[in-house]
Amino acid sequence: MSTEILSEQSEKAYALLKEDADKIIKLIEVQMTNLTMPQCPLYEEVLDTQMFGLSREIDFAIRLNLVSETEGRQLLTNLEQQVSALHDATMRAGESRSQ
């Protein structure tokens, strides 16, 4: 495979992984906005499943040398930080509403 094609494939793989990470963030935002139940077992199960699935996708892309291990781990770390920040913000908003 030529370097140019491999580079294009790597960029496409990263874009798809980023798109999947963004879908997880949207799922969480909808949950937090509409249901405001971040401790719901079903919500936690869906989130865990989505996060696990994305981590498997990232591992697969790394094994194919489509993304570097650093890029893949950074994508997952960024997603985890966004999830945590969104959860914290929702919990703080819920606390201020109950006071």
Global model pTM greater than 0.85: no
70 vs 59: CA distance, rounded Å: 11
What's the structural domain count of the chain? Answer: 1
Over residues 1-16, the mean pLDDT reads 86
Q: Smallest Cα–Cα separation from 22: which of 91, 93, 83?
A: 83
Is the pLDDT confidence value at 59 over 80? yes
Confidence of residue 3 (pLDDT cuts 50, 70, 90): confident
Supply the CATH number for residue 79's domain: 1.10.287.750
- Which range marks the domain in which residue 87 is found? 3-98
Cα separations (Å) of 33 from 90, 94, 97?
Answer: 8, 11, 14
